Structure 1
Amino acid sequence: MTNPGWGGGANEGVPPRPRCVRHPDRPTALACTRCGRPACPECLREASVGYQCVDCVAAGQRDIRPVRGVAGNTVASGRVVPLVTYTLMGVNVLTFLVTVLQSRSVMNNQVGSALFLDWALNPALVAGGEWFRLIGSGFLHFGILHLAVNMYALYILGRDTEMVLGRSRYIALYLISLLGGSAAVMAFQSVFSSPTSLSWTAGASGAIFGVMGAQAVILLRLRRSPAPIISVIAINVVISVTLPGISFWGHAGGLVAGAAATAALLYAPQWLGAASDRVKAVRIGWIGLATVTVVTLGIIVLRVVQLRDQGLFLSS
């Protein structure tokens, strides 16, 4: 006895298998759990429930709002490399190596180095038109110990500050702090260290003090105790006052400028009622940084005018 339904090909009466929406030549029994479209294994990604196609995964990522930091910067989900901090350290070390090669001395690299002579900060030389000393001096160091201490402090403090503020704001903070230290030296430090020799200021300490001030403001903004960083600042201020050969004004100026810049960045949007509007808050923060920069430059310009009126200006 035979059954007529068994005649013909083996697949008669079986519906065709669905094909992958991205690869029509590939039959598949799998489907995306989000949109339900058929997809081959190559086009599926593991999700929290089942598997989703690459199109749905991409759409889901676009729908996720980026995590914002306290300064309005975008916070990366993975491990952030403090690229700016490492770059600043590299520039400082490279500058030091150039002065060592020129002076042929690791401990007294300021003697016989043309770069050191061209970049070291002195108010009279800035008043004479050598404005680059205001920034260049922040990348010079008196000997290997001076460099090592500053680079270690930058490594410890800079990475966290860069992560919180974001790279662009951190660069701005560092440069404003450096400029603030130079402004304080211009305003308060004597042109001459003795009747026959000029006073010289160099080092990244002003900028690093600015980073310390920034961390204190950040901790206050996050409603955390700033006591640890304030203790570090206090110890360093005492060292700056008691040990000879350390520029107290460079440190103090950097500290004030860095704290002021960070306060303008983090608190100005709240004070002006723009905290809920991210775009406006970011704009106000940058305006705050620009304001601190203008004030700092104003102090420098006023001091230059004063020195020129007194005849205390030189050119190398």
Structure 2
Amino acid sequence: MARWGGERDTSYRAGRTRPDHSAVLGPGFPVNPQQSSPPAQVCVRHTDRPTGLSCTRCGRPACPECLRPASVGQHCVDCVRADQRSTRKVRTASGAVAARSATPFVTYVLIALNVVVYAITAAQSRSLMANERGSALFIDWVMYPPAVAAGEWFRVVGSGFLHYGLIHLLLNMFALYIVGRDIEPVLGRARYLAVYLISLFGGSAAVMFLAQDNLTAGASGAVYGLFGAVTVILLRLRQNPNSMLILIGINVFISFSLPGISLWGHLGGLAAGTLATLGVMFLPGWLRARTPEQVRTVGVIALVVLASATLALIGAAAMFLG
């Protein structure tokens, strides 16, 4: 009895080519799926890396290294950068762009420079407490108005990094650390450094006019300028400045009372730092600056004018002495 279905095609057993069934199975049905599968996606930034991931914003394939977590899915680094450029920058009350890092780098650098200069003078003099004796660097940099009038202008800046003994250094660096870490994020690093230097110049200018026979050294003038800067910032932020005013009053009283302290260097630095910070924090409002760019421009111009004025005063004193 014959089997149901009739004869079977057994020609492939004899080495013949297997019949093409695509017509029966339908068009597009793969005879060999391995040969007709689509190619794997590769990362748009690393073409040698196959990936099954993609950016949920632009849809492009990306490897794990090029993706960043997002509130919805994950974004590629190109989309993250584009979003950062389009996002409005957060600015402080002075118009400075708020730093992502709260680390006061400029303050730490200034402290490090003061410590390094002191270490050099101590090594040259072989004394921690009397480092001004026998130190060539101290002799060359100390603020001496007749020497500045003779052309040694580097003393104007260099004297601000010298200190009479370890106690003098520690007191100034402690004060610089306390006030600097609060001022730097508000003003921004560049403005903060400008206020510090203008305070230093202001102290030197006062010494040039009012303490011409003294040998003056120390960061005290610049630190007093930062005291004034903190007071102005507190007023601008509508906070109570009484604590800073009391601190300034105590330090000014000490400067009057104790011998060997550069009173005029302190007062000159205080005045210069206060005026410089007023120019950054209040002058743009007084001039009705509206946009962040206008606020920043007015502040920069104020700092340039004050720096030029303090240097001009030093120059005038030098001409008078000469």
Q: TM-score range by the shorter chain?
A: 0.7 to 0.9
User: Distance between the aligned counterparts of 1:211 and 1:169, measured in 2?
Assistant: 12
- Which amino acid letter does the alignment assign opposite residue 87 of structure 1? V
Q: What SS class does the counterpart of residue 282 from structure 2 fall into?
A: helix
* Residue of 164, 173, 190 corresponding to 1:142: 164
Partner of 1:250: 265
* Residue of 173, 177, 183 corresponding to 1:161: 183
Partner of 1:225: 240
- Which amino acid letter does the alignment assign opposite residue 279 of structure 2? A
* Residue of 236, 240, 243 corresponding to 2:255: 240
Question: What are the within-5 Å matches in structure 2 for residues 160-309 of structure 1?
Answer: 160-191=182-213, 199-274=214-289, 276-308=290-322
Partner of 1:151: 173
Segments of structure 1 that go 5 or more residues without pairing to the other structure are 192-198, 309-316
- Which amino acid letter does the alignment assign opposite residue 247 of structure 1? S
Structure-2 change in CA distance of 1:45 and 1:9 (3 Å): farther
**TM-score when normalising by structure 2:** 0.81
Q: What SS class does the counterpart of residue 73 from structure 1 fall into?
A: coil
Output one character per residue of 1:234-282: Cα deviation in whole Å (capped at 9) or x when no partner. 11111111111111111100000001011112222222222x2222322
Work out the percentage of aligned pairs sharing the same amino acid: 51
User: Distance between the aligned counterparts of 2:218 and 2:269, measured in 1?
Assistant: 11
User: Distance between the aligned counterparts of 1:279 and 1:11, measured in 2?
Assistant: 63
The structure whose Rg is larger is 2
Shift of 1:223: 1.8
Segments of structure 2 that go 5 or more residues without pairing to the other structure are 5-23
* Residue of 95, 116, 122 corresponding to 1:94: 116
Structure-2 change in CA distance of 1:293 and 1:58 (3 Å): closer
User: Distance between the aligned counterparts of 2:118 and 2:54, measured in 1?
Assistant: 62
User: Distance between the aligned counterparts of 2:77 and 2:311, measured in 1?
Assistant: 53
Structure-2 change in CA distance of 1:188 and 1:50 (3 Å): same
Q: What SS class does the counterpart of residue 121 from structure 1 fall into?
A: coil
Q: What SS class does the counterpart of residue 68 from structure 2 fall into?
A: strand
- Which amino acid letter does the alignment assign opposite residue 298 of structure 2? I
The answer as to whether partners of 1:17 and 1:27 remain within 8 angstroms in 2 is no
- Which amino acid letter does the alignment assign opposite residue 174 of structure 1? Y
Shift of 1:229: 1.7
**TM-score when normalising by structure 1:** 0.83
Q: Tell me whether 104-113 or 176-185 shows the greater mean CA deviation.
A: 104-113
User: Distance between the aligned counterparts of 1:25 and 1:134, measured in 2?
Assistant: 59
Partner of 2:20: none
Structure-2 change in CA distance of 1:103 and 1:21 (3 Å): closer
* Residue of 117, 133, 137 corresponding to 1:111: 133
CA-based RMSD of the aligned residues comes to 2.9
Structure-2 change in CA distance of 1:57 and 1:294 (3 Å): closer
User: Distance between the aligned counterparts of 1:288 and 1:58, measured in 2?
Assistant: 34
User: Distance between the aligned counterparts of 2:269 and 2:300, measured in 1?
Assistant: 19
Structure-2 change in CA distance of 1:297 and 1:55 (3 Å): closer
The answer as to whether partners of 1:27 and 1:40 remain within 8 angstroms in 2 is yes
Is 1:73 aligned to 2:96, yes or no? Answer: yes
Structure-2 change in CA distance of 1:260 and 1:51 (3 Å): same
The answer as to whether partners of 2:146 and 2:212 remain within 8 angstroms in 1 is no
The answer as to whether partners of 2:49 and 2:63 remain within 8 angstroms in 1 is no
Shift of 1:205: 0.2
Structure-2 change in CA distance of 1:132 and 1:58 (3 Å): closer
Question: What are the within-5 Å matches in structure 2 for residues 16-31 of structure 1?
Answer: 19=41, 22=44, 26=50, 28=52
Shift of 1:38: 5.8
Output one character per residue of 1:108-163: Cα deviation in whole Å (capped at 9) or x when no partner. 11112222111111222222332222211111111111111111111111122122
Q: What SS class does the counterpart of residue 75 from structure 1 fall into?
A: coil
Partner of 2:72: 49
